[in-house]
Amino acid sequence: MQREPLVVSDGAGGVIIAWEDYRYGYSDIMAQRVDGSGNPLWNADGNAISTASEYQWHHTMASDGDGGTDFPLTEYKVFAHTSDPWVFWESGVRSGCSVDNLAPGAPLTLLGLPDETDVLLTWEASGEDDEDLAHYNVYRGSTPGFVADENTLIGTVTDIEFTDTTPGHGTWYYRVAGEDVHGNVGSPSNETAVPLSTSTVAASLTCMPSSGVLPFVTGFTVQMTNQYDGLTRRIAGRINVTLANGTSYGNWRAGSTNIAAGSTYVTGWNQPIPALAPLVGDNLFRLVAADVTPAPWNQPPYPPAGDTDSDTATLTDIAP
């Protein structure tokens, strides 16, 4: 015997029907999904929703709009029996539902590593109340002890690793927290700090030969590299000179050029070295290369202008 049928839409043109079923003597709750043509889609005799001992009554349903249904409330009655099975007293109906308020545990062993201009994060699942995990929230701050909330959220991921793409130069701080399918966000992981301090600029200065009897000619070679792999940068170079007698000259040679991402600019020239007494000894030539890229190229997520690098070549002059 079946009684008390309830019907809700399945959100796909069909319906889901639930009823009290007495096929096993006591009333159980069964359900069946039927498509728009009247064909049953679940088990021929219906799916068992509740087959607990004794009676199950007063069921209710709500469609999830995706071919299924929720049975959000469980209703209860209490019966007081006498020795006569047909003489009893029945209480009123009280209902209740189970609410998921258990957030996933904090992810374990969060580690961060620089990967050129990116940061690679890895961690381990907590294994605590994470059976219904939906995803992990990844947070980034610029100071230690930052608050992991919606203001510092930078992404979500279902795996146990995440790549933060070109956050910029500096030291960044990260935490990760699990969020379940009901929106419960767990405690965040440990905090990990990752420094990204690699300059966008590399400089090299050589002179060959690096020593000789005055007067002679040496060849200078300048190399400036754009180490940033995402964009052309404008890089300026200047050579400062300190002669053997202590006299200094700033910007002995200077210039700037656009250098493509990951490329190197090379230039060179032959320099006559005259037979002058102030040159006898070690003469220092220092190349300073600087990223002078103008806006808007220096807007985040691209690194700002200002990175520098330098290299020094020593030319030892011997008196004639």
> Does an H or E element contain 255, and which?
strand 248-259
- At 229 the pLDDT is 65
pLDDT at 71: 53
pLDDT at 52: 62
The series of mean pLDDT values per 10 residues for the chain, 320 residues long, is: 79 82 77 86 79 63 55 68 82 68 93 88 93 94 94 95 85 94 93 82 94 96 86 91 95 93 94 95 96 70 72 95
Helix, strand, coil fractions of the chain, as percent rounded to 5 = 0, 55, 45
Q: In whole angstroms, what is the distance from residue 40 CA to residue 35 CA?
A: 7
Residue 66 DSSP code: S
Could you tell me the pTM of the whole model? 0.46
Provide the pLDDT for residue 90.
81
Torsion of CA 111, 113, 119, 125, to 10 degrees: -20
User: What sign has the CA pseudo-torsion 10, 15, 19, 21?
Assistant: negative
Structure tokens at 71: 């049975």
Q: What pLDDT, on a 0 to 100 scale, did the predictor assign at position 155?
A: 96
